[in-house]
Structure 1
Amino acid sequence: MGYVADRWHKTRPKPDEPECGEHKGLVASKAHGTGKRWQARYDDPTGREVTSLHRTKAEAEAEIVKQESDKQAGSWLDPKAGLVTVEKYALETWLPAQNLIGRSVKEYQGALDRYLIPEWGNRQIRSIKPSEAGAWQQLLTSKYKLSGSTPNRVARYVRGVFRLAVIDRVIAVSPFDGIKAPTLVEAAVHPPDVAEVKELIAAAYKPIWRAMIEVTALTGLRSGELRGLTLDRIDFLRRTIQVDRQMVYEAGKGMFLDNLKTGAGRRLLPVTKRTVDLLAAYVAAHPPAADGERAGLLFTMPDGKPVGESTLDSAFKTTCKKAKLGKRHWHELRHHYASVLIAGGENPKVVQKRLGHKDVMTTLRTYAHLFAEAEEQTRDVLDAAWAEPGETASKEESPQQGGRIPESRRSTGVLRQVSG
């Protein structure tokens, strides 16, 4: 149990010390008449002594009763913890607690430096109000002109800072509680179909670009995962690829192989015979280095260096022009892979696992319209299969009844190729 101390008077005065002229029977201390007189003292849940100053003895006693009660209820907060600035807590406590790899630390800190610290950096973390939290989220679009999924991502980082502060018992409640996060906007993807991918492969002007385009379309690997693929990660017999690393770039460090950021990204990917045959042929024609830091790296430049992201993007842009196709981005080959899985009837959890998404909601947000199309195709197939003879006169037969495909399926580029 805590106790109250009188700062203005000595608890153990010497016999010859004069009595306080203002308070009878007491001996004045050096602090007499300065600051608040009464000091509440109590131990925090770890046994460390905590003190606070009060104007009256009754206020100090009430503070001790409150703190002891909070300890018993498990809701105790260090009164001084909330004095820490938003910047100090975000950069020195929250950021290290995220267990991030190097490049992600820069990404997270960059977001804090650009959008949080200029607004609240010098504020005590306990001083931020819910109304201010809501207004700050609006600034992401109105002041900083962020769009797409970026406002949601930045807000997720900052909301995480205050959520951890609650867990650490720095503040009692997050100012973002009850404040809706910015809507996560996912632009609908319109991936190339199989025919278009084949045109891109044919137009690729170097063997390395042809191979990389086709492998991505057949596996859905991210650019960094593909560029960091090594021979030891491919099991040609079992037809699998172990995806656990990627090629990354950091200023001052150059390109290097690094672990994937999330556990979901690390996956054992089943691949087709076409894929392993393609990889085997490429390895035979372009053997990777047998030793050194680039040992086993499949896709390298003529000088043996890894393929950079910008180099790959530039090569793909040139390939699109040669194929006389519309503007495409490399990541759309990954979307193509997902669209083929969805068109083939794979459920969202399987698609999530194959793509290495962190959660199935990411998959559903990105490909919601493709799943919707697949649902409609399912209805067409069932309608055709169960229709009475007289009802099929004005409809095309299902594949089971005569090999003809419903119009909705034939109008979908991906399905047109898959069904063929």
Structure 2
Amino acid sequence: MPAAHWERSMGYVADRWHKTRPTPDEPECGQHKGMVASAAHGKGKRWQARYDAPNGREVTSLWATKTEAEREINKQESAKATGSWLDPKAGRVTVERFALDTWLPAQSINGRSEVEYLGALRRYCFPEWGHREIRSIKPSEAGAWQKLLISKYKLSGTYPNRVARYVRGVFRLAVIDRVIPVSPFERISAPALDETAVQPPDVAEVKQLLAAAHIDRWRTMLEVTALTGLRSGEIRGLRLARVDFLRRTMLVDQQLVHEKGKGMYFDELKTGAGLRTLPLPKRVVDVLAAYIERHPVSTSGPGAGLIFTMPAAGLIGESTIAFALKAICKRAGLGPRHWHELRHHYASVLIAGGENPKVVQKRLGHKDVMTTLRTYSHLFAEAEERTRDVLDAAWAEPGETGDGAEFSGTGGRIPESRSGSGVVAQLRA
């Protein structure tokens, strides 16, 4: 006798222990009257819930009783109807397999970023969770793991937040792909962005560095970086064709990078925001034009088209300019500086000049304005305070003491000789 079942469109329950189409000569089951035992009789759970997933693939599960199997069918059909269906077997994939096979290939990143992401996962995630089914991770474990980044792995600064962002992304995609119903990080706050306030060199210090840079190449690269905010890879990969001397603009669309096993090569920028056209001050145009006249751009070899190269048209490595800057700092009698701090200098000058955060973000090629605000929040605060001081001084009434005293007798009008930058200089003194 065939087992009881529902319409195929609604799923059905199958009796594994008995045949649905026995032949007339097959003996009756000794335990269940009117049925013929199958080869699976007495082995494992008797009732099998069967239904089609939204993609048409049949999904099955085993249950001890018919009632449980029917309840499972009802649950899954209801989930399909509301759009909340999840493959019960999908969550069995391990964290490592989902991260490597699904999440990583889905990221729109270049090769270097993929190496960075993979390295973070292998060092901090897979040792803890790699072998675990992705559905088994609990929120309490997610919170505890984030604390391990600091207590066990001794990460600091922005790195705990960055690593956690990668792993949280793995689980977020698992939710989107309907592998798990909810991420264990759903109500768990990400590690705080513990950024150290940058203290960029001021104009006076940059001029000291320029004076101590005896090699033309390093002096010019240093000055151009301070006046454009280019990253190390961007200045080292700067091509003559990207500079429009007539319109005084510079297209930043590539960088020179180094990757273990591949050596140095030209690569696209890490984010779309990094692609930008910079307005150039006259000083940069003049400095570059003079440098190119002294050192014509090579038209052949690995450095073809590059403005800055080593002798014999060799590409400049990141460690090379880092070593050069270290020597320049020592010669200038200054503390050590990193090349990236010249980029911070550029940002600090823009902020001090009154540029708003969105403009600074665009000039630096940051992905979002929050990155700019987090990095330079204290500098924006200082700029705001200077604005208050200038206005207080300008509008001080005659006889007032404090910041406005120096303008007493002017009726609140700024003397012409003290307007503009002169006021700021007076207030800083």
Q: TM-score range by the shorter chain?
A: over 0.9
Task: Work out whether residues 229 and 297 of structure 1, in 8 Å CA contact, stay in contact via their aligned partners in 2.
Answer: yes
Task: Work out whether residues 399 and 405 of structure 2, in 8 Å CA contact, stay in contact via their aligned partners in 1.
Answer: no
Give the TM-score taking structure 1 as reference length. Answer: 0.95
Q: Distance in 2 between matches of 1:134 and 1:219?
A: 41
**80-89 vs 247-256, which deviates more?**
247-256
Q: Distance in 1 between matches of 2:340 and 2:112?
A: 20
Q: Does residue 40 in structure 1 map to residue 49 in structure 2?
A: yes
Q: Which has the higher contact order (CA 8 A, sep 6+)?
A: 1
Q: Within 5 Å, give how 1:19-418 maps onto structure 2.
A: 19-391=28-400, 395-397=405-407, 400-404=414-418, 409=425
Helix, strand or coil for the counterpart of 1:177?
Answer: coil
Helix, strand or coil for the counterpart of 2:335?
Answer: coil
Task: Work out whether residues 352 and 360 of structure 1, in 8 Å CA contact, stay in contact via their aligned partners in 2.
Answer: yes
Shift of 1:100: 1.6
Q: Distance in 2 between matches of 1:33 and 1:353?
A: 70
Shift of 1:349: 0.4
How has the CA–CA distance of structure 1 residues 157 and 410 changed in structure 2, closer, same or farther, with 3 Å as cutoff?
farther
How has the CA–CA distance of structure 1 residues 151 and 162 changed in structure 2, closer, same or farther, with 3 Å as cutoff?
same
The amino acid of 2:325's aligned partner reads F
Task: Work out whether residues 395 and 413 of structure 2, in 8 Å CA contact, stay in contact via their aligned partners in 1.
Answer: no
Task: Work out whether residues 381 and 406 of structure 1, in 8 Å CA contact, stay in contact via their aligned partners in 2.
Answer: no
Helix, strand or coil for the counterpart of 1:62?
Answer: helix
Task: Work out whether residues 380 and 406 of structure 1, in 8 Å CA contact, stay in contact via their aligned partners in 2.
Answer: no
The amino acid of 1:168's aligned partner reads D
Helix, strand or coil for the counterpart of 2:54?
Answer: coil
Helix, strand or coil for the counterpart of 2:62?
Answer: strand
The amino acid of 1:287's aligned partner reads P
Helix, strand or coil for the counterpart of 1:391?
Answer: coil
Shift of 1:389: 2.5
The amino acid of 1:203's aligned partner reads A
How has the CA–CA distance of structure 1 residues 409 and 69 changed in structure 2, closer, same or farther, with 3 Å as cutoff?
farther
Q: Distance in 1 between matches of 2:427 and 2:202?
A: 11
Shift of 1:328: 1.3
Deviation digits for residues 357-406 of structure 1, max 9, x if unmatched? 01111111111111001101111111122222332786334994243478
Task: Work out whether residues 390 and 423 of structure 2, in 8 Å CA contact, stay in contact via their aligned partners in 1.
Answer: no
Helix, strand or coil for the counterpart of 1:396?
Answer: helix
Task: Work out whether residues 86 and 125 of structure 1, in 8 Å CA contact, stay in contact via their aligned partners in 2.
Answer: yes
Shift of 1:127: 0.2
Task: Work out whether residues 43 and 49 of structure 1, in 8 Å CA contact, stay in contact via their aligned partners in 2.
Answer: yes
Aligned residues: 413
Deviation digits for residues 142-192 of structure 1, max 9, x if unmatched? 000001100000000000000000000000000011111100011111111
Task: Work out whether residues 275 and 365 of structure 2, in 8 Å CA contact, stay in contact via their aligned partners in 1.
Answer: yes
Cα RMSD for the two superposed structures:
1.6
Q: 1:11 aligns with which of 16, 20, 29?
A: 20
Give the TM-score taking structure 2 as reference length. Answer: 0.93
Q: Distance in 2 between matches of 1:410 and 1:178?
A: 51
Task: Work out whether residues 396 and 406 of structure 1, in 8 Å CA contact, stay in contact via their aligned partners in 2.
Answer: no
Q: Where does structure 2 lack aligned partners over 5 or more consecutive residues?
A: 1-9
Percent identity of paired positions between Structure 1 and Structure 2: 72
Q: Distance in 2 between matches of 1:401 and 1:182?
A: 51
Task: Work out whether residues 188 and 367 of structure 1, in 8 Å CA contact, stay in contact via their aligned partners in 2.
Answer: yes
The amino acid of 2:348's aligned partner reads S
Helix, strand or coil for the counterpart of 1:403?
Answer: helix
Task: Work out whether residues 385 and 401 of structure 1, in 8 Å CA contact, stay in contact via their aligned partners in 2.
Answer: no
Shift of 1:407: 8.1
Helix, strand or coil for the counterpart of 1:51?
Answer: strand
Task: Work out whether residues 200 and 345 of structure 2, in 8 Å CA contact, stay in contact via their aligned partners in 1.
Answer: yes
Task: Work out whether residues 384 and 392 of structure 1, in 8 Å CA contact, stay in contact via their aligned partners in 2.
Answer: no
Shift of 1:205: 2.1
Q: Distance in 2 between matches of 1:241 and 1:399?
A: 41
Q: Where does structure 1 lack aligned partners over 5 or more consecutive residues?
A: none
Shift of 1:411: 6.9
Q: Distance in 2 between matches of 1:406 and 1:280?
A: 32
Q: Distance in 2 between matches of 1:216 and 1:400?
A: 36
Helix, strand or coil for the counterpart of 2:265?
Answer: strand
The amino acid of 1:395's aligned partner reads A
Shift of 1:47: 1.0
Task: Work out whether residues 235 and 241 of structure 1, in 8 Å CA contact, stay in contact via their aligned partners in 2.
Answer: yes
